[in-house]
């Protein structure tokens, strides 16, 4: 079956599960079909396959039947270069193969139910005549809405429904080559048109009345689409409407509700469709509350001799069991086939529609099935939701792309209610598996059990679908309690926000008011957490937050995990602030004034390093960028290629936080390339509200202890502070000096006591012991192993990183003297200093830690 045209062949296909009962072939039956595209052509072909005797006549008022309406935007964008590729089946082909009497350019203008005949007007000759029927199948589709905007009748204002509309739009683009176009409406046709008009190198403004595009999905899931549109140079105007369209000197001036106006060469109206029911209504067929023709489970209208299918009918939603209008090609094709079955004596049943849909927006896809959270709320249904952000396939195999997936389920029995996913790769596969699961009535526990195909280029051993099921099952099993963005945005007084990410990750922002205790330190820092407050834990994507909750719960804390983590929080908050902080493409390939980076006095920066970080999951790209920038000189730039669709916003926040300068973010090879200049001091931009504040203040850390765990904590904090732009001085005194000792014995002259001291004390970071549970070195070995497995740098590496980041390591000269440690015994790069130096540094800083 084609995606949107008719079922082309398989005559031997078995009946669908919707098909029950048998066909009793009547004697020569006359079947008339109104509409010759998705539903109509499917009905016609199926009817012929079932009956060689039936007389089948299909009326189509357009020039073509069975064309690929879903491909129309892509021919306009020249992605589908040949127009004829869209003609899935021709009238001639249909006549030859199926002996169907196809009448194009013939409009059915009236149904006379009492006489069982239709009135047909030949649109070429304007002649009208009646055609009798035994059974009539209506598949007239849906018509695009044309809002009553003054000037919307201008010939350069288009809707897109059929080949004629497509040809007209394409003609304007080919002949007039407009520099700019405006699309009204951010549904899938509007989005596809925005993308394809950009392919034609027009500057595109997309105007959408709602605060988000693709309103079938929930706002936070659509935020990456907003970023993607902006990344590709679409001027996205949310919560805006068009108030008038005026002709001015050969171009159009589109007035917006914001008081602004946009000049362009053409306007596409894509504000939605409504079922085309004029014929049905005039014939007295029942029309439902959603505006579609009412049909029963056999797709029979209120007249038993008339069937209706496709966009024109009202369906029942699988999840809500409410009537709905779901104008999609899949249901239309299946319904056409079912109606034909029933016309020819079958008892096929059309079950439910579930709104499975997917839309390509440049390099991203957004897909969904079932009910959205918004729809569940409106219906007053009980639901729980989880978010995950896995990779499309194994992260170590090239080309893995992040997917954000939201799963809505019944908190009582775990039944799937709906799902949405957005990403550059693998969205279709996950949505289709989940659509199948939804239709089969599976629960989230079933998802965890599904055995799905896996090899590194295609998926993960724990596929995102399994993973979503596991996360949701944990909730059902009471292993973790969830909190959501609305909970952490405004926590109550008896709640504490706990960010369990590593310090470095905070550079891209955190939730205001959050306390940071990295997950790996959590067990040792439990005494810092209040037992009388509920802890709302979060990490980047939800996994470490879950682990933190497991630790905290088992230590008697009340705790909930922010599902989807900071990534989901950012997406939800970006939506509510209407895209603030979003980046625009820096290019002038449209011939229009392109968005430019903020004016700055900073000197130009040459790109000295290019990194491909497409295989890295958030926050990997930011961490790699940070490391690479450390290795280049001031006012030099690093260019990084990242697949994570959230990266454009992350890098903005990170640059604001660290003072480095974001030069550009542009789309490239299905990912985005950001270029960042290393700057010494924060640029003119202010620190983000969500980020750490007072970044330029100094920090001092006194390291008194020679315990491994304490030294680790000291260096992690110091490195984090350095990464955030602080000048950090670590002052090593007494036992802390051992952290700085070289591994090897250095021959220096010492007296007896000094030699004894030197022998008894650990020589360097590798010899340090744990402050607790050292167990004769076993504990220290264990913690090093755990750190290795979790990718946490060992202490020597942390020391090296600190030195590379400019952290001053100062050995207390007085302690060195007391303990008989000589300068030569310490690692290179260590300074010596006294109390005065320490106090001077501490006074200039805003944080002073004693470890």
Point out which residues bind ligand FAD (CB under 6 A).
4, 34-35, 37-40, 59-62, 69-70, 72-73, 107-108, 139-141, 160-162, 189, 276, 279, 310-312, 327-330, 332
Cβ nearer to ligand FAD, comparing 123 with 602: 123
Cβ nearer to ligand FAD, comparing 68 with 400: 68
Report the b/e string of 753-767 with b at 16+ CB within 10 A.
ebeeebeebbbbbee
Three-state secondary structure call for residue 818: helix
Find the residue with minimal CB distance to ligand FAD.
310
Cβ 231 to ligand FAD, closest distance in Å? 22
Instruction: Give the CA distances from residue 166 to residues 76, 155, 239, 330, 668, in Å, rounded to whole numbers and listed in that order.
Output: 7, 14, 28, 22, 28
Cβ nearer to ligand FAD, comparing 40 with 77: 40
What 8-state DSSP symbol labels residue 379? T
Three-state secondary structure call for residue 157: strand
Cβ nearer to ligand FAD, comparing 299 with 812: 299
Cβ nearer to ligand FAD, comparing 287 with 605: 287
Cβ nearer to ligand FAD, comparing 146 with 449: 146
Cβ 418 to ligand FAD, closest distance in Å? 17
What is the distance, to the nearest Å, from the Cα of residue 61 to the centroid of all Cα atoms in its chain? 40
In angstroms, the CA 806 to CA 826 distance is 18
Using the Cα atoms of residue 84, residue 87, residue 90 and residue 93 in order, give the sign of their dihedral.
Answer: positive
Instruction: Give the CA distances from residue 210 to residues 195, 215, 419, 507, in Å, rounded to whole numbers and listed in that order.
Output: 19, 8, 21, 32
Cβ 40 to ligand FAD, closest distance in Å? 5
**H helix intervals, 440-484:** 444-449, 464-476
Rounded to 10 deg, the angle between the 708-723 and 795-804 helix axes is 30
Report the b/e string of 555-584 with b at 16+ CB within 10 A.
eebbbbbbbbbbbbbbbbbbbeeebebbbb
Three-state secondary structure call for residue 304: coil
Cβ 716 to ligand FAD, closest distance in Å? 49
- Per DSSP, the residues of 315-352 read EEBTTT--EE----HHHHHHHHHHHHHHHTT-EE----
Cβ 80 to ligand FAD, closest distance in Å? 12
Cβ 372 to ligand FAD, closest distance in Å? 17
Cis omega (within 30 of 0) for bond into 619? yes
Cβ nearer to ligand FAD, comparing 151 with 331: 331
Cβ nearer to ligand FAD, comparing 356 with 563: 356
Three-state secondary structure call for residue 641: strand
Tell me whether residue 528 is exposed, middle or buried, using C-beta atoms within 10 angstroms of its C-beta: 0 to 12, 13 to 18, 19 or more: exposed
Closest Cα to residue 307, out of 29, 711, 65? Answer: 29
Instruction: Give the CA distances from residue 559 to residues 482, 502, 565, 593, in Å, rounded to whole numbers and listed in that order.
Output: 9, 19, 14, 51
Closest Cα to residue 630, out of 668, 560, 577, 678? Answer: 678
Cβ 216 to ligand FAD, closest distance in Å? 12
- Angle, alpha carbons 452-457-463 (nearest 5°): 30
Cβ 479 to ligand FAD, closest distance in Å? 38
Rounded to 10 deg, the angle between the 219-231 and 188-199 helix axes is 10
Cβ nearer to ligand FAD, comparing 340 with 795: 340
Using the Cα atoms of residue 444, residue 445, residue 449 and residue 454 in order, give the sign of their dihedral.
Answer: positive
Beta carbons of 568 and 387 less than 8 angstroms apart: yes
Cβ 213 to ligand FAD, closest distance in Å? 15
- Angle, alpha carbons 333-339-343 (nearest 5°): 150
Cβ nearer to ligand FAD, comparing 70 with 663: 70
Cβ nearer to ligand FAD, comparing 142 with 562: 142
Q: And the tokens for 103?
A: 């009448």
Q: And the tokens for 237?
A: 């105007």
Cβ nearer to ligand FAD, comparing 358 with 551: 358
Catalytic annotation, residues: 70
Strand partners, 388: 405
Beta carbons of 490 and 640 less than 8 angstroms apart: no
């Amino acid at each position: 079956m084609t995606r949107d045209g008719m079922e082309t062949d398989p005559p031997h296909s078995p009946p669908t599960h919707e098909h029950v009962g048998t066909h009793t072939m009547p004697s020569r039956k006359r079947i008339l079909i109104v509409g010759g595209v998705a539903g109509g052509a499917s009905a016609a072909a199926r009817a012929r396959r079932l009956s060689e005797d039936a007389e089948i006549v299909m009326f189509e008022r357009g020039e073509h039947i069975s064309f690929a309406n879903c491909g129309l935007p892509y021919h306009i964008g020249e992605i589908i270069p040949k127009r004829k590729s869209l003609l899935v089946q021709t009238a001639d082909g249909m006549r030859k193969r199926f002996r169907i009497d196809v009448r194009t350019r013939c409009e059915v203008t009236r149904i006379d139910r009492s006489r069982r005949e239709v009135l047909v007007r030949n649109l070429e000759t304007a002649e009208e005549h009646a055609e009798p029927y035994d059974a009539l199948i209506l598949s007239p589709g849906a018509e695009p809405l044309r809002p009553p905007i003054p000037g919307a009748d201008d010939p350069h204002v288009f809707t897109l429904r059929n080949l004629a509309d497509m040809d007209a739009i394409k003609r304007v683009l080919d002949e007039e080559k407009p520099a700019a176009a405006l699309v009204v409406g951010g549904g899938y046709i509007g989005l596809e048109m925005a993308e394809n008009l950009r392919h034609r190198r027009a500057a595109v403004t997309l105007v959408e009345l709602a605060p988000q595009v693709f309103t079938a999905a929930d706002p936070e899931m659509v935020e990456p689409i907003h970023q993607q549109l902006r990344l590709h140079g679409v001027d996205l105007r949310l919560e805006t409407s068009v108030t008038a369209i005026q002709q001015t000197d050969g171009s159009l001036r589109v007035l917006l509700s914001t008081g602004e106006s946009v000049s362009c060469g053409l306007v596409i109206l894509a504000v939605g469709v409504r079922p085309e029911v004029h014929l049905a209504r005039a014939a007295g067929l029942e029309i439902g509350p959603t505006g579609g023709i009412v049909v029963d489970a056999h797709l029979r209208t209120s007249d038993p001799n008339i069937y209706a299918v496709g966009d024109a009918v009202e369906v029942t939603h699988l999840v809500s069991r409410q009537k709905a209008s779901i104008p999609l090609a899949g249901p239309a094709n299946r319904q056409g086939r079912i109606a034909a079955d029933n016309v020819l004596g079958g008892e096929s049943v059309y079950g439910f529609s579930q709104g499975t849909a997917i839309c390509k927006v440049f390099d991203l896809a957004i897909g969904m099935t079932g009910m959205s959270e918004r729809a569940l709320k409106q219906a007053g249904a009980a639901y729980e939701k989880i978010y995950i952000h896995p990779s499309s396939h194994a992260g170590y195999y090239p080309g893995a792309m992040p997917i954000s997936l939201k799963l809505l389920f019944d908190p009582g029995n775990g039944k799937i209610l709906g799902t949405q996913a957005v990403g550059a790769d693998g969205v279709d596969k996950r949505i289709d598996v989940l659509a199948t699961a939804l239709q089969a009535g599976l629960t989230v526990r079933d998802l965890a059990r599904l055995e799905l195909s896996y090899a590194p280029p295609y998926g993960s051993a724990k596929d995102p679908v399994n993973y979503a099921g596991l996360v949701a099952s944990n909730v059902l099993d009471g292993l973790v309690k969830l909190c959501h963005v609305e909970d952490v945005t405004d926590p109550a007084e008896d709640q504490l926000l706990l960010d369990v990410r590593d310090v470095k990750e905070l550079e891209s922002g955190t939730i205001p008011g959050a306390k940071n205790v990295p997950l790996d330190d959590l067990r040792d820092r439990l005494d810092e957490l209040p037992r009388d407050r509920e802890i709302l834990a979060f990490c980047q994507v939800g996994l470490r937050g879950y682990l933190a909750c497991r630790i905290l719960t088992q230590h008697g804390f009340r705790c909930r995990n922010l599902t989807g983590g900071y990534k989901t929080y950012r997406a939800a908050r970006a939506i509510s602030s209407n895209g603030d902080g979003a980046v625009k493409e820096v290019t002038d390939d449209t011939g229009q004034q392109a968005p430019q980076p903020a004016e700055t006095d900073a000197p130009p920066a040459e790109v000295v390093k290019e990194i491909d970080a497409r295989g890295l999951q958030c926050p990997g790209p930011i961490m790699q960028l940070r490391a690479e920038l450390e290795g280049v000189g001031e006012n030099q730039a690093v260019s990084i290629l990242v697949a994570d669709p959230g990266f454009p916003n992350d890098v903005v926040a990170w640059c604001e936080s660290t003072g480095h300068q974001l030069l550009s973010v542009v789309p490239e090879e299905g990912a985005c390339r950001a270029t960042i200049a290393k700057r010494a001091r924060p640029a003119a931009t202010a620190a983000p509200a969500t980020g750490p504040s007072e970044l330029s203040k100094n920090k001092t850390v006194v390291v008194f202890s020679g315990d491994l765990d304490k030294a680790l904590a000291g260096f992690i904090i110091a490195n984090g502070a350095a990464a955030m732009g602080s000048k950090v001085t670590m002052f090593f005194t007494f036992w802390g000096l051992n952290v700085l000792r070289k591994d090897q014995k250095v021959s220096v002259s010492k007296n007896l006591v000094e030699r004894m001291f030197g022998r008894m004390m650990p020589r360097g970071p590798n010899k340090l012991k744990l402050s607790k549970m050292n167990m004769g070195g076993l504990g220290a070995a264990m913690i090093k192993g755990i750190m290795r497995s979790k990718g946490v740098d060992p202490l020597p590496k942390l020391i090296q990183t600190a030195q590379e980041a400019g952290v001053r390591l100062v050995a207390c000269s007085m302690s060195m003297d007391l303990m008989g440690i000589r300068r030569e015994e310490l690692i290179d790069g260590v300074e010596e200093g006294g109390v005065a130096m320490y106090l001077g540094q501490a006074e200039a800083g805003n944080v002073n830690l004693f470890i």
